[in-house]
Chain A
Amino acid sequence: MTALDELTRPAGDDDVVGGVPARLVAAPRDTAEASALLAATPGLTVVVRGAGTKLDWGPPPRALDLIIDTHHLSGVVEHAAGDLITIVRAGTPLRSLDLGDQLLALDGPDGATVGGTVATATSGPRRLHYGGVRDLLIGITVVRADGKVAKAGGKVVKNVAGYDLGKLYTGSYGTLGLITECAFRLHPRPKHALFVRAVTPPSDAARIRAAAVAPAAVEIDSASGELAVLLEGTPDGVQERAGLLEKLLKGDISDMSPKWWGVAPWTADGIGVKLSVPLSAVPALAAGPDAVRGSAGTGVLYAAAAGITEVERLRAACVRLGGHAVVLTAPPEVRDILDMWGPTPGLSLMRRIKDQFDPGHRFAPGRFVGGI
């Protein structure tokens, strides 16, 4: 038996990415085995798959020989509570992490893995307070296209030794190699949380900022006209701040989030668009003809577009306002005639990075910006 036979199995009917069927599937049990797999399969094109919750994101791969499934690369390597850090294997479902009275402040779709969350840089409402993936990831272990294993960062929060490759791999959509382990900064789980909900214009986010109440999240849903603020902290502090906002917004205090909170606005076969604009432009974006939902606190929002016209209209609006619009997911007939990523400043540098890290372009070819 060759190394390839030992490490892989033939693909089944479900082993498809963006409509492209794979030939082989492998589920390495640790970083060393993943390294051996990639070293033994030069020239095979690869897509990495976690729980598959975002496998429909991005354009389909140009070619697909091998799916590397991370479900065996699972579990917590270390949780140093006193140091507020954890090291987790990439295939670990985010929601399964039991960190006691501590919190890895990343939100993602139900079932999403740590590796998939890092690879797509997904974050939820609480990014406003805790930062996104790039802010919480403090160390990373990857397997390169040639099978070599590399680490960057470490397990201390404060660390400027060498290039921070974790930033580069965050949001790289699996195009630079296989992520096998991630180290994160943790936060204490807040003792108390309350929502303040109001039907009020998105421009009120500016009044919330001026109030200096340090919200954990400020979300809007333009379809319902609702704005909701999450406050976290000590019971007394949260209660007092919530009372202040209740008056300011003429809203209601609730311990329940609105049903749209942190929920992607598109349906399974719809067009999902991620929008980002400067904070002052959020009201203008929300006042446009397309419904948007997301963070008025960070300027990162989402929309379900009805068709290509709507995508182009949203993109034009975002660009005019100083931001970007990326189509995350779309049905094949739309995806194939659309530039999902849109204009990408710095693309030539990005191509050079791809050429260095993956000279054979074996990792997720065609899935990323500019056909990378």
Chain B
Amino acid sequence: MTGIEGLAERLRRELGRERVITDRQELRTYECDGLAHHKVVPAIAVLARSTAQVAATVRACAEAEVPFVARGSGTGLSGGALPHADGVLVVTAQMRDILDISPADERAVVQPGVINLQLTRATTPAGYYYAPDPSSQQICSIGGNVAENSGGAHCLKYGFTVNHVTGLEVVAPDGSVTRLGGKALDPPGYDLIGAFVGSEGTLGVATEVTVKLTRLPETVRTLLAAFHGVDQAGAATSAIIAAGVVPAAIEMMDALAIEAAEAAVACGYPAGAGAVLIVELDGPAAEVAAQFDEVVRLCSESAAFEIQIAADDAQRALFWKGRKSAFAAVGRISPDYIVQDGVIPRTALPEVLRRIDALAAENGVRVANVFHAGDGNLHPLVLFDDAVPGEAERAETTSGAIIDLCIEYGGSITGEHGVGADKAKYMPRMFGDDDLDTMQLLRCAFDPAGLANPGKIYPTPRLCGERPGRRTAGETADRDGAEVF
């Protein structure tokens, strides 16, 4: 019996046969996440139902020195949940109970498999919602959001997942279970929640999450402004920010993205637009009224040729439908595409878009631009046809060059999708050796054996051996026994 077979047997014994998948055909269901061109079939998949089952699985992996990868709904766009061929995939999608909704505390406690939008729906009757809203919110899980520190269109005003998590139950890579924080803020000690959220499954598995609930705004107002080109739309965005308005969201799409969205969902964006902006304001009616008028004025002054104001929720939903379906919609106009997630300082937007255009022309590919204009988070979609020899390579070259542009302008290689398997190779372009080495000190503290989602984020793993160092007398006296769970 090989090590993997022995591990599978142990997991069947401890968790029950129906929780453990080893059939190669069944395992294919899990061979990729939302980044479908990276595929690896795991050796074992475990469909965990409880913290105890996740802990038992991880402990068994640790003892067998087998790597493990956690997976929620599998909607990630960076290959963060890409399985390890010789490892165990820990699927938390079936842990989908909302354990507590406490409007009086403005908190909810959920299992990691709970779907993002499901939580908002469950809390709306009490006048609350869960603010981080990735475009995949209808299917993505809170556990996956925690791993990726997911953002969304409205994080311009409301922040990312990390700003909304106040408590975690974590299965560390040795299989131990630790509870961090809770409904109260500022637990004593290092901000382990801040360190864990966004660690892409490399520090362990979150098995319970306490999140902030946000009061539903009194008013939401949304407009769609059409411009002849992205320069004017970019200028309008800058003008809105310069006026001291903090919209809930400012989203931009260029002509090619609009074409794709129209073909896919007939969202009714103004004909002939070279760019559209969706601007949403929310808050107390008295605040929103004044600021909304100002936003309309600023869009007009930036040469918007048409401004539609959502009259009701249905029209608002239609504005958003085009935007939120944009990635999938691009499939209508191109057989294949690469999504990038780079970030630039917002003020560099017009210049960077011009250079992306030039790059596309140079490489003979088309690039559709859909992005969170308010915070400079670009989602260039590099279109190609894999059937045409050389096109995939040219698309890859363009995509890499766009990443370099983001770094050149002082931005980031990823704003919300995560580094995962996909962008690990770009990390050394953004960070120096000492930066990456220092980040991995944290990894070594949590996972010295390197079994939690190996190969993700960092292109070169750090060895976590004992390092020489002076020990000061007295510091180990209370090493054990002070732990409180």
Give chain A's interface residues, CB within 8 Å of chain B: 43, 45, 62-63, 80-85, 101, 121, 131-132, 134-135, 142, 144, 148-152, 154-165, 167-168, 170-172, 176, 187-189, 191, 206, 209-210, 212-214, 233-234, 236-237, 240-241, 274, 276-281, 298-300, 318, 322-324, 326, 341-353, 355-357, 359-362, 365-366, 368-372
Contact = CB atoms under 8 A, between A and B. Distances in A.
B245 to A, nearest CB: 7
Given A345-B179, A345-B483, A346-B189, 16 more contacts: A144-B438, A152-B431, A158-B160, A163-B457, A168-B190, A170-B191, A214-B215, A276-B186, A279-B105, A299-B185, A322-B183, A342-B188, A344-B482, A344-B484, A353-B445, A360-B469
Interface string B338-381: 00000111110000000000000000000000001001110000
A300 B188 CA distance: 13
B205 interface: no
A360 B472 CA distance: 8
27 contacts: A62-B474, A81-B242, A121-B186, A151-B431, A152-B439, A156-B376, A158-B377, A159-B415, A161-B419, A163-B439, A165-B195, A170-B191, A206-B104, A209-B106, A209-B215, A212-B215, A214-B283, A274-B186, A276-B184, A323-B182, A341-B188, A342-B188, A343-B188, A345-B181, A349-B178, A356-B442, A371-B475
A240 B285 CA distance: 10
A52 B127 CA distance: 44
A278 B414 contact: no
A310 B85 CA distance: 57
A234 B287 contact: yes
Interface string B449-485: 0000000011000001001111110110111101111
A154 B411 contact: yes
Chain B interface size band reads 35 or more
Interface stretch (B148-156, B251-259, B303-311, B323-331): B148-156
B138 to A, nearest CB: 21
Closest A-B pairs by Cβ, 3 of them: A167-B194, A359-B469, A188-B244
Contacts of A151: 431-432, 435
A163 B413 contact: no
Q: Is the interface of B mostly helix, strand, loop or mixed?
A: loop
Interface string B433-452: 01111110111111000000
Interface of B: 102, 104-107, 127, 148-149, 151, 155, 159-160, 162-163, 172, 178-192, 194-195, 197-199, 215-218, 238, 241-242, 244-246, 283-284, 286-287, 289-291, 343-347, 372, 375-377, 410-419, 423, 427, 430-432, 434-439, 441-446, 457-458, 464, 467-472, 474-475, 477-480, 482-485
Contacts of B344: 156
Contacts of B218: 212
A214 B199 contact: no
A233 B287 contact: yes
Contacts of A209: 106, 215
Given A355-B445, A360-B470, A163 B195 contact: yes
Contacts of B377: 158
Nearest to B413: A161
B185 A276 contact: yes
Contacts, number: 309
A162 B437 CA distance: 11
Interface centre among A144, A299, A351 (most CB of B within 10 A): A351
A255 B432 CA distance: 49
B159 A236 contact: no
B412 A159 contact: yes
Contact of B189 (A45, A318, A347): A347
Nearest to B189: A369
B241 A84 contact: yes
A162 B427 contact: yes
A324 B468 CA distance: 36
B185 A349 contact: no
